[in-house]
Amino acid sequence: MGEFSGKVALITGGSRGIGRACALAFAQRGAAVVIGYASNQAAAAETLKLIAGAGAKGTAIQFDVGDGSAAGEAVEKVIAEHGRIDVLVNNAGIAIDGLVMRLKDEDWDRQLNANLRGAFALIRAVARPMMKQRQGVIINIVSVVGETGNAGQAAYSASKAGLIGLTKSVAKELGSRNVRVNAVSPGLIDTDMTSELREQAKTRMFEAIPLGRWGTPADVANAVAFLASDAASYITGEILKVNGGMYM
């Protein structure tokens, strides 16, 4: 019996990277895990194997988080199958780098839709069932650049900064019904997304980390699991930095 036994967690972007690590963390702690993914069926299947290997029940739902209707339908599916939803981890997101003077409208829209609008749609969908349960946890994966800004990432930074504001606002709205809303803000984490950064940028960022190492997806997943647990029952509206001291 794990600390999340009997609970159901929905994790978007769960097919790889931080999302996969979060799925495994909840599975290892006894939760039934539902992963949302956009297109990579093979990666989603691999995550489900890991969940099963942890002795937990895992299912996958393919949908576009930027589509409000699809997000609502995904939550309905989770509740129809499991009868409840206890944890939502808004992890799905994309980054399309480019200087602001060259940033295309469609690239701005894609990032805001995936990173911010999608999280909003899922929060809206889970709010009512969680309030009815008088219990629930929402955790948004933001980013250090949402706190500091970053040249060449105006849209990505804006979307994550917006998600920080959304986290705090919804925490105030739902707190009276025992629904907690927090965010985890990763720094330089070794994932597919960061592997696409230019070497010069990675070197500059790495030199700013006092702990002197890259973070791992498991580092972020452990913070997410903590915020979802009863050990964090008096924490809401918080932005938990997981960045090795990169930004304090």
CATH number assigned to the domain comprising residue 210: 3.40.50.720
Residues 221, 23: Cα–Cα separation, whole Å: 8
Nearest to 224 by CA among 195, 168, 182: 182
pLDDT of residue 206: 84
Provide the token pair at 215: 């973070």
Q: Is 37 among the catalytic positions?
A: no
Instruction: List the catalytic residue out of 37, 156, 234, 247.
Output: 156
Could you tell me the residue range of the domain that residue 104 belongs to?
8-238
The arithmetic mean of pLDDT across residues 20-47, rounded, is 98
User: Is 181 in contact with 167 (CB distance < 8 Å)?
Assistant: yes
pTM for the full predicted model: 0.96
The answer to whether 139 and 89 are in contact (CB under 8 A) is yes
Mean pLDDT of 66-78: 95
Is the per-residue pLDDT at 194 higher than 80?
no
Closest to 56 (Cα-Cα) out of 122, 4, 21: 4
Does 84 reside within a domain? yes
Among the residue ranges 73-87, 165-179, 195-209, 229-243, the one predicted with the least confidence is 195-209
What are the contacts of 95-100 at 24+ separation with CB within 8 A? 95/153, 95/156, 95/193, 96/155, 96/156, 97/152, 97/153, 97/156, 98/152, 99/151, 99/152, 99/154, 100/154
The mean per-residue pLDDT over the stretch 103-124 comes to: 97
- DSSP, collapsed to helix, strand or coil, labels residue 175 as helix
- pLDDT value at 225 more than 90: yes
Decide: 35 and 48 in contact? Cβ < 8 Å: yes
Residue 114 lies in a domain: yes
Q: Are 60 and 39 in contact (CB under 8 A)?
A: no
Predicted confidence (pLDDT) at residue 117 exceeds the cutoff of 90: yes
Residue 46 belongs to a domain: yes
Helical H runs in the chain? 17-28, 41-53, 68-82, 105-112, 118-133, 144-148, 154-174, 192-195, 199-207, 217-228
In a domain, 244, yes or no: no
Q: Mean pLDDT, to the nearest integer, of 4-24?
A: 98
Structural domain count of the chain: 1
pLDDT higher than threshold 90 for residue 72: yes
Spatial distance between the Cα atoms of 168 and 72, rounded to a whole number of angstroms: 22
Contact 142, 160 (CB under 8 A): yes
Rounded to the nearest angstrom, the gap between the alpha carbon of residue 95 and the centroid of all alpha carbons in its chain is 14
The answer to whether the beta carbons of residues 220 and 242 sit under 8 Å apart is yes
pLDDT surpassing 90 at residue 196? no
> Does the pLDDT at position 1 exceed 70?
no
Q: How confident is the model at residue 205 (pLDDT cuts 50, 70, 90)?
A: confident
Taking only Cα atoms into account, the Rg of the chain, rounded to an integer number of angstroms, comes to 17
Nearest-angstrom CA–CA distance, 105 and 131:
37
